[in-house]
Amino acid sequence: MERSLVLIKPDAMQRGLAGTITSRLENLGLKLVAMKMLHPDKALAQRHYAIHKDKPFYNSLVNYISSAPIIACVFEGEQAVEAIRKAIGATDPAQAEKGTIRGDFGLDIEKNSVHGSDSTATAEEEIKLFFSQDEMFSY
């Protein structure tokens, strides 16, 4: 079983989409094993987006994700990373297929409603940023 991090971003939170997004992922047969609402500080945002540190959009990403509360979730299932990436769609909502989370709810490339880990290795590292082992549940 794989686990993957999903972040429900500020734009989705402000529009009341948290339940819709988590429901879509659960309806794929993925199990929600951790969830919490938080307001990330800049330090956490910088660690989360460290891979993009040398890119021109890095500061904008950090400022955006730390601008308001988010919900962090861990989903578990067979090929969870791939299933979530398919369900959330392309990073740019203008390129995302209708029926995907970003295609249906994303506003622009930054305010694209949701983050999902892009690989199992990335998922392991990202999950550790947001959750301790005792905050995740098996059932």
Locate 39 and state its tokens.
């307001």
Residue 75 and residue 31 in contact, taking contact as beta carbons nearer than 8 Å: yes
Structure-block tokens of residue 30: 């993925």
Distances (CA, A) of 110 to 11, 62, 84, 91, 94: 9, 10, 18, 8, 11
Instruction: Note if 39 is an active site residue.
Output: no
| 7 CB-contact burial (10 Å; exposed 0-12 / middle 13-18 / buried 19+) | buried
Instruction: Kindly list the strands in the beta sheet with 31-38, ordered across the sheet, starting from the edge strand earlier in the chain.
Output: 31-38, 70-77, 2-8, 114-116
Among 39, 48, 52, 115, the active-site one is: 115
Which sequence positions are flagged as catalytic?
Answer: 115
